């Protein structure tokens, strides 16, 4: 199939299934969860960054554990404090790419 497929989330899905846990660290996130979070945070912003491609950039529905992991990671202290919503991240990256000013990008993306 076209778009994002199991290649991008299947490894994490398989590992979470093997561990039968919410996080790679069990019931609480470990360093591995936090190390891969930025990749998935950006992956969630892709549909906002490239709306003309639409749902081809969304994670497949069969990555059930990955989707639960994403929601749970957003509720952890560090991610809830410092993570960006997909809309805000897409806006910040667009502003930063055109202006080269990350401070401006963060200001202009506030509230998203």
Residue 5 has pLDDT above 60, yes or no: no
Q: Which pair of structure tokens corresponds to residue 63?
A: 């990555």
Least confident of 24-28, 49-53, 61-65, 89-93: 49-53
C-beta of residue 28 within 8 angstroms of C-beta of residue 34: no
Q: Give the per-residue pLDDT at 1.
A: 44
Q: Which pair of structure tokens corresponds to residue 53?
A: 């491609």
The 3-state secondary structure of 37-74, one letter per residue: HHHHHHHHHHHHHCCCCHHHHCCCCCCHHHHHHHHHHH
Closest CA to 89 of 52, 55, 53, 39: 39
Q: Give the per-residue pLDDT at 108.
A: 93
Q: What is the mean pLDDT of the chain?
A: 88
Which residues, other chains included, contact 108 with Cβ-Cβ below 8 Å and sequence gap of 6+?
A: 91, 92, 95
The pTM (predicted TM-score) of the whole model is 0.81
What average pLDDT does the segment 77-91 reach?
Answer: 93
Closest CA to 65 of 7, 106, 10: 10
Q: Give the per-residue pLDDT at 32.
A: 96
Q: Of all helices (H) and strands (E), which one includes residue 80?
A: helix 77-82
């Amino acid at each position: 199939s076209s778009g994002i497929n199991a290649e991008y989330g299947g490894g994490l899905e398989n590992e979470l299934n093997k561990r039968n846990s919410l996080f790679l660290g069990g019931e609480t996130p470990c360093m591995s969860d936090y190390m891969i979070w930025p990749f998935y945070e950006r992956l969630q912003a892709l549909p906002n960054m490239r709306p003309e491609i639409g749902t081809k950039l969304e994670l497949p529905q069969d990555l059930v554990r990955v989707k639960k992991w994403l929601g749970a990671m957003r509720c952890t202290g560090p991610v809830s404090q410092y993570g960006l919503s997909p809309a805000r991240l897409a806006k910040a990256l667009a502003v930063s790419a055109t202006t080269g000013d990350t401070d401006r990008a963060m200001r202009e993306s506030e509230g998203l």
